Amino acid sequence: MSRFDPDQPRPRILQCVSHLALGGAERVAVSLIESLQEQYDFSVYAVRGLADGPVGLSLQQQLQRLAVPVLLGPRVPMRFGGVLTGARGLNQALRRFRPDLVHLHTEIPEASYATLLSVSPGSKRTALVRTIHNSVIWKSWPALGRACDRKLAHARVAGVSQDAVNAFLVLRSTSGATPTETPPALIYNGVRPLEPAPQLTARDSVIRMVYGGRLEPEKGTDLIPEILGRTRLPVGQQARLTIYGSGRHALALRWLERNAPAGWTVEVHEPIPNFSAQLRYFDIAVLPSRHEGLSLVAIEAVLAGIQVVATDASGLREALPSHHPWRARAGDPVSFAATLQMACANRDRWPAISESNRAFALERFAPEKMVAAYDSLYRESLEKTP
């Protein structure tokens, strides 16, 4: 009998994320829950529980409003036994929620599930979907990544960008796992557009810039002080950079806040839940990433109608049209400063660039496309699992 027989209970899906915190994977999981609640019964397991700060709490409250049961695991790093505690918590989630399908988002959930399969092979009877959320995967734990891929070889796989898909294919070619039954699916994250900012070429003498996200090496936030120091603003102009984020570069950026270059003002804030809604009040989003899975901030900024100065980093380049003019070399603060300087000096081009970029994003990142693609992937996985 089909699992989608209208006379049968809806299939149960467990969304497994690293933690409830700032991150694209968590947002994708919640978006799928919101959009597919009529077709499936969802639950959530956060391997490392609830992160500090308002963003994680906001996600938890959102799931509560959706009446989605959530199990929070302990906050134990992988190097201190987090793989084992993650597997134990995931086993508890399987027993509590009895899912027909488990959807793993990123490496920490993958490692937890692979470990569970090592001690409880019967769990393999549950349908499995993996989403690859980055274009650089298992960088710190390559041997563990290959071992996990062998254990999870039966899963259906999706990547949030072509670069993410390619990263998975490289892993599969080196892990010794059996070839995928079906090719990995490219499923771009869906982003709901907000009302764009008014198309103004000049608001006042201050150019308002913003960065939002983790303050980590892959995001290139360690390059921000040099970028600002090298950027020559147009005559008569000043710039204000507002940073929303947390991570290992926070102290250095707090120092920059107190010691900004001439012509600059820098403000550093903790992450906020409604960051995308704030974008329309800025002129330029800066994204100096070294690599991404798919930059949701870039997409949200484009949909908000503001300029995006970004790198050509893997994952990030797919968030913008190929002809996007404000693109610098990844990991190169000199290139980024020159690109940012050019963007500031060409305000007359902003309206046309915004219009073109927004049309591109509305087409590529329509939420309906993402939801339909995952719905199809879920159905294929459920139908083909004994």
Tell me the per-residue pLDDT of 335-364, one tens digit each, with 9 for 90 and over.
999 999 999 999 999 999 999 999 999 999
Q: Are 186 and 163 a contacting pair, CB within 8 Å? A: no
The pLDDT, as a whole number, for residue 9 is: 84
* Residue 2 covered by a domain: no
The fraction of the chain above a pLDDT of 90, given in percent, is 82
Do residue 314 and residue 211 come from a single domain?
yes
Does residue 201 carry a pLDDT above 60? Answer: no
Beta strands in 36-119 (DSSP E): 41-46, 70-72, 101-105
Do residue 373 and residue 311 come from a single domain?
no
* Residue 7 covered by a domain: no
> In angstroms, what CA-CA distances link 193 with 53, 139, 361?
25, 33, 9
Do residue 179 and residue 221 come from a single domain?
no
> CB-based contacts of 87: which residues, under 8 Å, 6+ apart?
112, 113, 115, 116, 119
Do residue 259 and residue 154 come from a single domain?
no
Do residue 31 and residue 88 come from a single domain?
yes
Which amino acid type is present at position 140?
Answer: S
Query: What value does the mean pLDDT take over residues 300-320?
Result: 97
Q: Are 152 and 110 a contacting pair, CB within 8 Å? A: yes
Does residue 121 carry a pLDDT above 80? Answer: no
- Rounded to two decimals, the pTM is 0.92
- Domain total for the chain? 2
Measuring CA to CA, which residue among 71, 62, 60, 61 is closest to residue 14?
Answer: 71
* Residue 195 covered by a domain: no
- HEC-encoded secondary structure of 227-282: HHHHCCCCCCCEEEEEEECCCCCHHHHHHHHHCCCCCEEEEEECCCCCHHHHHHHC
CATH number at residue 310: 3.40.50.2000
* Residue 6 covered by a domain: no
The pLDDT, as a whole number, for residue 386 is: 64
Do residue 29 and residue 143 come from a single domain?
yes
Question: Which secondary-structure segment (H or E) carries 127?
Answer: strand 127-132
Do residue 127 and residue 229 come from a single domain?
no
> Tokens at residue 200, please?
């103004």
Does residue 93 carry a pLDDT above 80? Answer: yes
A 10 A CB-CB count for 268 gives 22
The pLDDT, as a whole number, for residue 123 is: 66
Query: What value does the mean pLDDT take over residues 196-206?
Result: 64
Tens-digit pLDDT profile for residues 154-197 = 999 999 999 999 999 999 999 999 888 899 999 999 999 877 66
* Residue 316 covered by a domain: yes
Does residue 200 carry a pLDDT above 60? Answer: no
Do residue 174 and residue 242 come from a single domain?
no
Query: What value does the mean pLDDT take over residues 94-100?
Result: 96
Do residue 322 and residue 298 come from a single domain?
yes
The pLDDT, as a whole number, for residue 116 is: 95
Do residue 322 and residue 336 come from a single domain?
yes
Q: Name the residue with higher pLDDT: 122 or 41.
A: 41
* Residue 274 covered by a domain: yes
The fraction of the chain above a pLDDT of 70, given in percent, is 94
Tens-digit pLDDT profile for residues 15-74 = 999 998 877 899 999 999 999 999 999 999 999 998 878 888 889 999 999 999 999 998
* Residue 220 covered by a domain: yes
Query: What value does the mean pLDDT of the chain take?
Result: 92
Query: What value does the mean pLDDT take over residues 138-156?
Result: 95
319 — pLDDT class (breaks 50, 70, 90): very high
Enclosing domain of residue 244: 206-364
Do residue 108 and residue 244 come from a single domain?
no
Does residue 1 carry a pLDDT above 90? Answer: no
Tens-digit pLDDT profile for residues 76-89 = 877 777 889 999 99
CA 104 to chain centre: 14
Do residue 358 and residue 375 come from a single domain?
no
Neighbouring-strand partners of residue 72: 46
* Residue 328 covered by a domain: yes
> Tokens at residue 198, please?
């008014």
Q: Are 164 and 132 a contacting pair, CB within 8 Å? A: yes
Does residue 368 carry a pLDDT above 60? Answer: yes
